[in-house]
Amino acid sequence: MTPESSAIPGPEESSQVASAAEDTSTAVVMQLPEEQSSDSVRASVAGLAMRLPLQLDLRVPLPSFRVLNLLSLEKGQIIESAWPHTEDLPLWSGDVHLVWAEFEVVDQKLAVRVTRLV
């Protein structure tokens, strides 16, 4: 298209633009063997998902917690929350609520048990 021409390309210029777009685009096609079961496909997808970076957030209300409390935290210190200890906690990734979970201590390590899917 020349600077003097109109903004609407003519038929010859349209085909040039379309062929240029085809040259720059790429497509990824993943073909699975037909004999591969749905269970193995799920396992493959799960394996890929395990390698994706993901930040998980656990939002627990701490009404009397201040910056001073954060700066003075020590190993083994217990912090009181406003969340009832009998209730499951919501586990988030960004703005997406993924699951409900509970904490559990296993071999001196803190673990999270998924109790309900959203």
Q: Which of 86, 85, 88 shows the shortest CA–CA distance to 58?
A: 88
Res 32: pLDDT = 52
Res 13: pLDDT = 43
Mean pLDDT of 94-111: 89
pLDDT digits (tens, 9 = 90+) for 73-82: 999 898 888 8
Residues 83, 89 contacting (CB under 8 angstroms): yes
pTM (predicted TM-score): 0.49
Instruction: Delimit the domains of the chain by residue range.
Output: 11-117
Res 111: pLDDT = 87
Is the pLDDT score of 58 beyond 70? yes
pLDDT digits (tens, 9 = 90+) for 5-56: 444 444 444 444 444 444 444 555 555 555 556 777 777 777 777 788 888 8
- By CB atoms closer than 10 A (0-12, 13-18, 19+), residue 33 is exposed
Residues 93, 57 contacting (CB under 8 angstroms): yes
Mean pLDDT of 55-66: 88
CA dihedral 61, 84, 112, 60 (to 10 degrees): 0
Mean pLDDT of 60-80: 90
- 11-117 CATH: 2.30.330
Mean pLDDT of 95-114: 89
